[in-house]
Amino acid sequence: MIQLPQFPQSYWTTSVEQPEFPKLTSDMDADVVIVGAGITGITAGYLLSKEGKKVVILEAGRILHGTTGHTTAKITAQHDLIYDELIHHFGEDKARLYYEANREALLFIRKTVEVEGIICDLADEDAYIYTQSEDTIAKLEKERRAYEKLGIAGKLTDHIDLPIAIQSALVMNNQAQFNPVLYLMALTDRIIRSNSQVFENTTAVKVEEGDCPVVVTESGNRITCQHVISASHFPFLDWKGFYFARMHAERSYVLGIRIGQEYNGGMYLSADQPKRSIRVVREGKEPLILVGGEGHKAGQSNCTIKHYETLQSFATSVFDVKEIAYRWSTQDLVTLDKLPYVGQINARTDNIFVATGYRKWGMTNGTVAAHLLKNRVLGIKDRYQDLFDPSRLHADPDIKSFVSENLNVAKELISGKLETVYRSPNSVAVGEGALVLINGKRAGAYRDPDDQLHLVDTTCTHMGCETNWNDGDRTWDCPCHGSRFSYTGEVIEGPAKKPLVKIEFAPEYEA
Ligand code: FES
């Protein structure tokens, strides 16, 4: 039996040696402060630096180690089955705009790679959505008709270049894939060669509003600027935008496998549940196949390692798997109407912007957002501005989704408090995490490989839901709005800003 890697590690972040950037230790001025160094923040920084703006990018951890470093890095406008749904909800014109925005993003990445001479494994690939179920053929046909109405080049086929028995597949030709870390490191290099700067391990905690907003960091340093862009996956400040109530977080999983057979190309996604995503990485001596899927609402899985095991079974059923070299998971945000929120963080503040909610399609949507926000900073009306306006609200689907998402949060809030199965702290084995009782109170326990027990109060510091242990990644995950915490309680993903409260361990805590 081939073993899963013991610890999660993304291929993208481990295969590329990244330079380190300093922590901000002084006050400064800038034209634009960008919080978050993933594809949106870095692309926006690149575009604004080229316009002569002095940009400061702040990243709470290492650059490109968030969602961008854990993607499957498909650059495509084929975002699952979406165009028929968009036509239904918003009409043909808006659905076409969404396609065009993402198509332009693909063309921009291609052109930038060429003009800047970037080596990032960029390759043209066709994108496929396939089904193995007769029941889904009609959905693919509807989507094909949507392509036709919107002028999208695509067609149905009954053959794909994978050993999977399919009923039908919808292909969008001439899409692409790349190594996002190599691409964005090159853009970062162009940013710091201009009059701009990048800081790592620098957490922005506050913005003082005004004509010249001031971004304040955790260590108290102040950056006075003209515009602020929040590109930190979950907005680093909610700013009365109620983003936590208008998005939900989804967790999904990826395996990087070596196989003993040829891979003829193509980027694949199943239309059926459970979702399966497949693409190849051709860097290095042997191709690496990325097999993804198993998405679920963040914090709402009892056993996350089983998702890797299920992906492993699927991979073995399709490929001659020789090795599982990598495993990692990622978290994506989905808005009420499935379109990203990009624009003013709220209706009354015209110099603080946000970009979030890419629904797993961040390579193109992040690039679209960077262009839109560059135009907002420069005072240029962008043709996609209204489509992605974060203040938009449609009765259908927004209200329906809002009600259902927030009912789900209420259910998780209550059911988390009713948990009754607790362990004794001393029964928690090395490498294991569990709920325990400490002096009669619920606590989260994890015993590390050095036999040290880490205890935290599992109550999420965002709005008080109870976090659940994620055994695949060794984190405490909140089922309500997707905050994640390390086993020592540090915030890995928001909306929570404060760490879980640590509980000191002493033998007398034994229940
Ligand atoms: Fe909102 Fe935990 S993320 S309560």
By most ligand atoms within 8 Å of CB, the mutation choice from 246, 477, 478 for ligand 1 is 478
Structure tokens belonging to residue 222: 């102040």
Give me ligand 1 centre to Cα 98, in Å. Answer: 30
**Distances in whole angstroms, Cα of residue 259 to Cα of each of 126, 322, 470:** 21, 5, 29
Our answer on whether the CB atom of 481 is closer than 6 Å to any ligand 1 atom is yes
Our answer on whether the CB atom of 170 is closer than 6 Å to any ligand 1 atom is no
**Distances in whole angstroms, Cα of residue 435 to Cα of each of 77, 424, 428, 454:** 43, 8, 9, 12
Our answer on whether the CB atom of 478 is closer than 6 Å to any ligand 1 atom is yes
Structure tokens belonging to residue 261: 């057979």
Please write down the HEC assignment for all residues of 207-222: EECCCCCEEEECCCCE
Give me ligand 1 centre to Cα 308, in Å. Answer: 25
Q: What is the distance between the alpha carbons of residues 471 and 314, in angstroms, rounded to a whole number? A: 20
Q: What 3-state class would DSSP assign to 107?
A: helix
What atom in ligand 1 is closest to the CA of residue 481? 3
Q: What is the distance between the alpha carbons of residues 34 and 179, in angstroms, rounded to a whole number? A: 23
Query: Mean pLDDT in each 10-residue stretch from start to end of the chain (511 residues)?
Result: 91 93 98 98 98 97 93 97 96 98 98 98 97 96 98 96 96 97 98 96 94 97 98 84 86 95 94 96 88 90 89 96 96 93 92 96 98 98 96 75 68 65 86 88 91 93 91 91 93 90 69 46
What atom in ligand 1 is closest to the CA of residue 496? 3
Give me ligand 1 centre to Cα 297, in Å. Answer: 13
What atom in ligand 1 is closest to the CA of residue 494? 3
Closest residue to atom 4 of ligand 1, CA basis: 463
Q: For 43-59, write each residue's pLDDT tens digit.
A: 999 999 999 999 999 99
Contact 333, 233 (CB under 8 A): yes
Q: What is the predicted pLDDT for the residue at 511?
A: 46
Give me ligand 1 centre to Cα 483, in Å. Answer: 6
Q: What is the predicted pLDDT for the residue at 509?
A: 47
Q: Which domains can be identified in the chain, with CATH numbers?
A: 425-509 (2.102.10.10)
274 preceded by cis ω (within 30°)? yes
Our answer on whether the CB atom of 160 is closer than 6 Å to any ligand 1 atom is no
Q: Say how far residue 90 (Cα) sits from the centre of its chain.
A: 25
Q: What is the distance between the alpha carbons of residues 232 and 480, in angstroms, rounded to a whole number? A: 19
What atom in ligand 1 is closest to the CA of residue 483? 3
**Distances in whole angstroms, Cα of residue 407 to Cα of each of 62, 188, 241, 245, 251:** 35, 42, 19, 11, 19
Q: What is the distance between the alpha carbons of residues 56 and 192, in angstroms, rounded to a whole number? A: 10
Q: For 322-355, write each residue's pLDDT tens digit.
A: 999 999 999 999 999 999 999 999 888 999 999 9
pTM over the 0.75 mark: yes
Our answer on whether the CB atom of 467 is closer than 6 Å to any ligand 1 atom is no
Q: What is the distance between the alpha carbons of residues 424 and 440, in angstroms, rounded to a whole number? A: 11
Our answer on whether the CB atom of 463 is closer than 6 Å to any ligand 1 atom is yes
Our answer on whether the CB atom of 480 is closer than 6 Å to any ligand 1 atom is yes
User: 260-264 contacts: CB < 8 A, separation 24 or more?
Assistant: 260/320, 260/321, 260/322, 261/319, 261/320, 263/287, 263/289, 264/161
Query: DSSP of 131-179, one letter per residue?
Result: ES-GGGHHHHHHHHHHHHHHT---EEES--SSS---SEEEEEEEEEE--
**Distances in whole angstroms, Cα of residue 25 to Cα of each of 217, 225, 333, 393:** 9, 17, 32, 41
Q: What is the predicted pLDDT for the residue at 292?
A: 97
Give me ligand 1 centre to Cα 484, in Å. Answer: 9
